[in-house]
Amino acid sequence: MPRPSNSRNFGLAWFFLCFAFAAHIADEALTGFLPVYNATVRAARAEISWFPMPTFEYREWLFGLIGAVAICLLLTPVAYRNSRWLRPLAWFFAGVLFLNGLAHTLATIFGRTVSSVHFPRPAPGFYSSPFLLASSLYLFARLLHTRHVEHASPLITSR
């Protein structure tokens, strides 16, 4: 079976974003992101009682994100098939991680997340943010470029 050409799918872009996501989790874990995040959520809840973000313990946060990366990586072959059902998830995945990279960059510029949560610069998780931004933009571009390409059936292969 011939391998799908990169010009006909978004598989490589999906894989790069998964890799950037994994690197970002390691960056956050190594630079003390979780205490800043939890303090930000508590401060936001003090101002806006309905603020929907949860706080986390370190273990549940880390293992939850590792699980998310594993699931995303398992979907890589589906992205290489240019699967229609994965495309909305890919747009969401790229959008969330683009905003995540942007948030870490802005936090680094301002030296805080909210007015009461300050930290030394750069912000925790900043070092991997350029990779999140670039790989998210790459996935956006591949999704646009392959939007009219016929997807490959997972059960039927041509010889």
**Is the pLDDT score of 153 beyond 60?**
no
What 8-state DSSP symbol labels residue 156?
-
d(CA 28, CA 36) in angstroms, rounded, equals 10
Into how many domains does the chain fold? 1
Structure tokens at 125: 């998780």
Residue 40 lies in a domain: yes
Q: Please, how many CA atoms are within 13 Å of residue 40, restricted to the half-sphere of its CB?
A: 18
Tell me the three state secondary structure of residue 72: helix
Residue 155 lies in a domain: no
Task: Write the pLDDT tens digit of every residue in 37-63.
Answer: 999 999 999 999 898 999 999 999 999
Residue 70 lies in a domain: yes
Residue 152 lies in a domain: no
Residue 133 lies in a domain: yes
Task: Write the pLDDT tens digit of every residue in 109-135.
Answer: 999 999 999 998 999 999 999 999 999
Residue 150 lies in a domain: no
Could you tell me the residue range of the domain that residue 27 belongs to?
Answer: 6-145
Tell me the three state secondary structure of residue 99: helix
